[in-house]
Amino acid sequence: MDLYLLHQPYGNVPDGWRALEDAKKAGKIRSIGVSNMTPKLWNTFVPQFNSMPSVNQVEFNPYFQQKELRAILAENDVKLEAWAPLGQGNASLLSDPIITEIAAKYGKNAGQVILRFENQEGIIVFPKSTKPERIKSNMEIFDFELTEDEMNAIRALDTVKGNHDPDAPGVGEYLLSAYDIHAND
């Protein structure tokens, strides 16, 4: 397996991480990472790990750029992988005047400009779509480059708020009670 993520940072995270480390040492997994780790969760759990995650998969798009978390990850050479890189179809994001103006300049759509921005920021993106035309469009982001002024204009769109807050009261308890990962043991 190329990459395996510890998806939710709740419950016995250190033991879960050790299991991933063991699988990596056994050659079953090439890279291991985490998901949904905010700065608070990162600072709680990662110091207990024997090895550094390769990736932290978190919500990321121009409206939620995770600047504090990105600084922590950069210190440790950990890559950020975006889930919801297009804002989960957020109509405001996809019709934002800054993004649509840049899209018109390059003859691209808003999604392509957003993905190009994220790519230039060094973010790993895997946009989800089941529509062949959209999948094709999502891959057509390498024939143009945003200027530094355009990058800064999109950086300024950050609202510092996402749709999912892993630190919110009750989130961990809810997720731990909603899924029985040992149901088939």
Position 54 pLDDT exceeds 90: yes
Q: What is the mean pLDDT of residues 152-173?
A: 88
Alpha-carbon distance of 33 to 80, in angstroms, equals: 10
For 9-21, write each residue's pLDDT tens digit.
888 999 999 999 9
What pLDDT sits at residue 133? 92
Average pLDDT over residues 47-75: 97
Report d(CA 34, CA 143) in Å as an integer: 32
Contact 85, 59 (CB under 8 A): no
Convert the pLDDT of each residue in 28-41 to its tens digit.
999 999 999 999 99
| Residue 106 to residues 69, 111, 115, 172, Cα–Cα distance (Å) | 31, 12, 14, 43
Distance (Å, rounded) from C-alpha 37 to C-alpha 57? 8
pLDDT-derived band at 177, boundaries 50, 70, 90: confident
60-75 mean pLDDT: 97
Confidence of residue 184 (pLDDT cuts 50, 70, 90): low
Asked whether 34 and 49 are in contact (CB, 8 A), the reply is no
Amino acid at 110: A
124: how many CB neighbours lie within 10 A of its CB? 15
Cβ atoms within 10 A of the Cβ of 79, count?
16
Residue type, 154: I
45 has a pLDDT exceeding 80: yes
For residue range 71-96, what is the model confidence (pLDDT) as tens digits? 999 999 999 999 999 999 899 999 99
Q: Where are the domains of the chain?
A: 3-178
| 3-class DSSP state of 80 | strand
The string of pLDDT tens digits covering residues 117-151 is 999 999 999 888 888 998 899 999 999 999 999 99
Question: Residue 185 has what pLDDT?
Answer: 59
- Own/partner pairs, 86-91, CB within 8 angstroms, 24+ separation: 86/61, 86/111, 86/114, 86/115, 86/127, 87/61, 87/62, 87/63, 87/114, 88/163, 90/61, 90/63
pLDDT at 79: 97
What pTM, to 2 d.p., does this model score? Answer: 0.90
According to the model, what pLDDT value does residue 166 have?
82
86 near 61, Cβ under 8 Å? yes
One CATH from 3.90.1300.10, 1.20.140.10, 1.10.3720.10, 3.20.20.100 for 3-178: 3.20.20.100
Residues 6+ apart with CB under 8 A from 74: none
pLDDT at 180 over 70: no
Average pLDDT along the chain = 93
